[in-house]
Structure 1
Amino acid sequence: MSGSTKSTKAMGVLTVTALVVVSAYTAALGSNGWLWFGWVVLGLVTIGMATSRST
């Protein structure tokens, strides 16, 4: 497994973990737009890494 594949997989795990944390925060304390915005940006970066790796 190359370093690029490892980093993309790590970003995927981080993105999913962040989604769980943001969802738990929203359920417990109410929605925070900045947290969701941050998660969307993280997701887009992860998708970008995954697509650039495959080309």
Structure 2
Amino acid sequence: MPTATKAMTVATVSGLVLATAYTVGLGGSGWVWFAWLVLGLATLGLMTAVGH
């Protein structure tokens, strides 16, 4: 797995943890989850483009 793909995967998983912590601590926000969804789709697109 290329370095860029690893970095995006780490950022996506970290974003999931942060979004969950934000939701638990401060209440749900649709924008936080929307941003995480966009990041997840970008990561999925990068993985598909690289062939992994």
The TM-score bracket by the shorter chain reads over 0.9
Tell me the TM-score normalized by structure 2.
0.94
> What RMSD, in angstroms, separates the aligned Cα atoms of the two structures?
1.4
Structure 2: distance between partners of 1:44 and 1:22 = 15
Paired residues for 1:34-45 under 5 Å: 34-45=31-42
Paired residues for 1:1-55 under 5 Å: 5-54=2-51
Name the amino acid aligned to 2:11. Answer: L
Unaligned residue ranges in structure 1 (runs of 5+): none
